[in-house]
Amino acid sequence: MTDWFYEQTVMGGAGEGSGVYSKVFLSEIERLQEGGTPFCVATVVDGKGSIPQIVGARAVFTREGLAQGTVGGGRVETKCRDIAKELLERPKGPATAFFRWNLARDVGMTCSGDMTLFFEIWRPELAWTVAIFGAGHVAQKLVRVLAELECRVLCIDTRPEWIARLPKSDKIVPLLVKDYVEGLASLPPGAAVLLMTMGHHSDRPVLEALEKADPPLAFLGVIGSDAKAKILKKELRERGVGQAFLKRIVCPVGDKLGNNTPGEIAIGIVAQLLRVRAGGPKNG
């Protein structure tokens, strides 16, 4: 992708600005790629009449808003930002989209030109994705620690009030679902999966669905006590879940490093994940 952007952005121009502007734009693209941050590039591909930018102008957006470039500022850029955010928040959404607007009718501007924009969604994958089912107290602490690392975090919950408490970060993807099992559709291959839903009654359906789907996972952990682990595995066994899958479940998850507080539990979980990622044993 970098070569394409170099040809199109540095050699072909990126709207207003000198080559310095274009190189800054390219540097931002590379930064987002290296950090594994999903982003959207909006390009003005056609224009007629009075429009606020030239054909070829580009802007790059993340879920947090405009990162670099411009497609005209003002209402056009606000509309582009909102579209980019919507596209980026669809894990299985389209990779490209065209929009053609009459600026007076569709954007509410005084100029009445027509503008066509091409949106491209890029989702650079980091080597490490952690999917957390449940956005409760421990998850709230956990995502904040993970956001400091080179990883992508999916946090899945059925409760909008807990999803709303998640910090804003390009590395954290909040997913509000009707049922936790729906979240499995968003798992990338090789993800580390952590279950910390409202209890074993809501963990169990996810585990049953995971056994049936059998996606390649780097790790599968469930928060809880030794007593919960026995009850959960007994119920799963009675419901036909195989012993091979049960052996993959790490419960309780996390190294015992301190007190039983959400923050210290979160640090113990991250310590365990880092050890497993480095090729070490699941239990330290």
Q: What is the pLDDT of residues 101-111, one digit of tens each?
A: 999 999 998 88
Query: What's the burial of 213, exposed, middle or buried (CB within 10 Å: 0-12/13-18/19+)?
Result: exposed
Q: What is the mean pLDDT of residues 213-219?
A: 90
Q: Are 136 and 272 in the same domain?
A: yes
Q: Are 112 and 138 in the same domain?
A: no
| End-of-domain residue from the set 103, 122, 141 | 122
| End-of-domain residue from the set 122, 142, 166 | 122
- The rounded distance, in Å, linking the Cα atoms of 252 and 227 is 9
- The rounded distance, in Å, linking the Cα atoms of 74 and 111 is 12
Q: Are 172 and 32 in the same domain?
A: no
Domains of the chain: total:
2
Report pTM.
0.63
Q: Are 110 and 167 in the same domain?
A: no
Q: Are 140 and 255 in the same domain?
A: yes
Q: pLDDT digits over 84-140, tens only?
A: 999 988 766 678 999 999 999 999 988 889 999 999 999 876 558 999 999 999 999
Range of the domain at 270: 129-277
Q: Are 80 and 190 in the same domain?
A: no
Q: Are 219 and 255 in the same domain?
A: yes
Residue 283 covered by a domain: no
Residue 282 covered by a domain: no
Q: Are 29 and 165 in the same domain?
A: no
Domain CATH code at residue 177: 3.40.50.720
User: For residue 216, is pLDDT > 60?
Assistant: yes
- The rounded distance, in Å, linking the Cα atoms of 118 and 253 is 45
Q: pLDDT digits over 51-67, tens only?
A: 998 999 999 999 889 99
Residue type, 126: L
Contact 54, 47 (CB under 8 A): yes
